[in-house]
């Protein structure tokens, strides 16, 4: 296997690890909502458990930053090795510099803006403000995940969230929209957002929304995807069968 393929495989592996952390963060949020709506726990118990989840979310956020940095190092090695193989000394220099930058990024990055941490903090505040279990549960259940893509008008598939407005679309739909509004006719439609030029943009198709969507503002929506998988798993569970006595 040549160098460029090896480094590209490394980049893809780090991307897969990022996905695991994305699902872990989404699962933590589900747990936080469930705990906040518990009827059999005291306010102190709920707060204690939410604080623990907040610590886990903070660790995941830091590990996520580290993975993204490692992926960037692999991408740099991949790009520089496409034209000609790198010497061992060059690889070592790029890798060590990347590791140093990674640690600096982790040390300097504030995880306070991480979405899951913000949401858990919001839930903690509601508990602290004395909202009842029913109030919290009602407030949380109003934020149900969408089921239809506003572009394709069919079931969401590979959900992507627009960080500008929070609306969610299917991966295929949002790529088609960006290409339709910006690319010349006849151009091949890419399969991933990473292949869409960064300067492409389109207006959010959600009725009444004036925000724009761009490749840089779109991210994989792990929370919606996790909910979809859970619903599919429940739908596929076999019905209980009563076995008659012989």
Whether residues 34 and 133 share a domain: the answer is yes
Would you give the end-to-end CA distance of the chain in angstroms? 62
**109 token code pair:** 């990055």
Q: What Rg value do the Cα atoms of the chain yield, rounded?
A: 22
Whether residues 31 and 82 share a domain: the answer is yes
Confidence label for 242 from pLDDT (cuts 50, 70 and 90): very low
**149 token code pair:** 């893509």
Is 152 inside any structural domain?
no
Whether residues 112 and 46 share a domain: the answer is yes
Whether residues 136 and 163 share a domain: the answer is no
Measured distance CA(112)–CA(26) in Å, rounded: 16
Q: Which of 84, 110, 141 is the last residue of a domain?
A: 141
Is 244 inside any structural domain?
no
CB atoms within 10 A of CB 64: 22
Confidence label for 214 from pLDDT (cuts 50, 70 and 90): very high
Mean pLDDT of 29-38: 87
pLDDT digits (tens, 9 = 90+) for 34-64: 888 887 888 889 999 999 999 998 888 888 8
pLDDT digits (tens, 9 = 90+) for 177-201: 999 989 888 788 888 888 899 899 9
Sign of CA dihedral 192, 19, 139, 163: negative
| Residue range of the domain that includes 174 | 159-235
- For residue 30, give every residue at least 6 positions away whose Cβ sits within 8 Å of its Cβ, in sequence order, or none: 223, 226
Measured distance CA(109)–CA(92) in Å, rounded: 25
**118 token code pair:** 């913000």
- The pTM is what? 0.71
Measured distance CA(74)–CA(9) in Å, rounded: 9
Whether residues 26 and 62 share a domain: the answer is yes
Measured distance CA(89)–CA(22) in Å, rounded: 35
């Amino acid at each position: 296997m040549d160098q460029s393929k090896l480094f590209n495989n490394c980049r893809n592996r780090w991307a897969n690890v990022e996905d695991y952390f994305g699902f872990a963060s989404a699962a933590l949020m589900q747990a936080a909502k469930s705990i906040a709506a518990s009827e059999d726990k005291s306010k102190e118990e709920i707060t204690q458990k939410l604080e623990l989840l907040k610590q886990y979310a903070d660790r995941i956020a830091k590990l996520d930053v580290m993975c993204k940095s490692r992926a960037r190092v692999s991408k740099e090695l991949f790009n520089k090795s496409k034209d000609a193989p790198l010497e061992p000394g060059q690889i070592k220099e790029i890798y060590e510099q990347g590791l140093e930058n990674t640690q600096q990024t982790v040390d300097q990055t504030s995880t306070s803006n991480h979405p899951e941490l913000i949401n858990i903090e919001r839930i903690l505040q509601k508990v602290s403000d004395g909202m009842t279990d029913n109030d919290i549960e009602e407030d949380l259940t109003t934020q149900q995940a969408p089921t239809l893509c506003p572009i394709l008008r069919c079931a969401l598939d590979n959900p992507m969230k627009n960080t500008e407005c929070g609306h969610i679309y299917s991966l295929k739909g949002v790529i088609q929209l960006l290409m339709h509004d910006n690319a010349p006719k006849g151009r091949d439609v890419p399969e991933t957002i990473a292949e869409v030029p960064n300067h492409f943009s389109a207006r959010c198709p959600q009725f009444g929304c004036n925000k724009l969507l761009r490749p840089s503002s779109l991210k994989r929506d792990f929370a919606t995807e996790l909910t979809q998988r859970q619903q599919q798993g429940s739908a596929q569970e076999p019905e209980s069968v009563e076995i008659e006595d012989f």
